[in-house]
Each structure stands twice: as C-alpha cells, then as structure tokens.
Amino acid sequence: MSDRAENTKIISKNIKDLRAEAGWSQAKLAKVSGVSPAAISLIENGDRIPSLVVTRKLASAFKVPEAKITGSQVEPIEQIDKEAQAFFRTYGELEELDDADKEIIKGLIHSLKDRQNDKSGK
C-alpha cells in the first residue's frame, strides 16, 4: 500500500473515531467545522485526503491537535525546545566562528556520523 493510501486510511479512521466519540453525524461535523458534508463523506470513505486548511478546521471542531487526525507522531514542543536550549547553551559560541572554521566542524561531524554508520553496518 502506498504512503498516500495508508495516510488516507489513517485519516479516514481517525475522523470516524473522533466523530463517533463526539456522538456527531457527518452533518453535525460539517456544521461545527465549516467543512461541507460532501467533503467529510469523501474523506471518511477514503476518497480524499483533507487539505491542511480542512484538517485544521476538523481538528478545531473536535478540539484536538491536528496530529490526532493525521496520525502523526509529533515530539512535544516543550521537549524540542528544552533540547535546543541545552544545545545552544553549550555550543552557542559556534555561531561566532568564521565560515572556514564552521566548515571544518561540519566536516568533522560528517566524518563521525559516517564512522558511526560504518560501525553499526548502516
């Protein structure tokens, strides 16, 4: 099954499940979300993947994150932010290096990653 077909299936199931949890008909979801009943039917039947705008409208109607509809695994933003802050506290001075030194560091990182991949057989 292609990625697109798999995504369509996941989105269709998630919307049906959310609608069932809310106890809504397709007509009720259409009214609450502002998405046409025909579009909701097509999405739930797996005949259409919703656009980003439609996904946002549906998520807003259900009061859930968009990932709950798309099935995306999203790392919590707080964790990403903490990791980024820790990195820049430790290595923020890298920005002050000139371009030639930055390229040396990038080359070193690539060499280490290649060596790591060679060891793990990737």
Is 2's pLDDT higher than 90? Answer: no
Structural domain containing residue 33: 3-70
pLDDT at 1: 63
Residue 34: DSSP 8-state: T
Whether pLDDT at 76 is above 70: no
Asked whether residue 10 falls in the same domain as residue 40, the answer is yes
Question: Are the C-beta atoms of residues 37 and 27 closer than 8 Å to each other?
Answer: yes
pLDDT tens-digit readout, 21-51? 999 999 999 999 999 999 999 999 999 999 9
Residue 11 above 90 pLDDT? yes
**Same domain, residue pair 12 and 33:** yes
For the chain, the first-to-last Cα distance in angstroms comes to 26
- DSSP assignment letter at 49: P
Total structural domains within the chain = 2
State pTM to two decimals.
0.60
What secondary structure, in 3-state letters, does 67-110 show?
HHHHCCCCCCHHHHHHHHHHHHHHHHHHHHCCHHHHHHHHHHHH
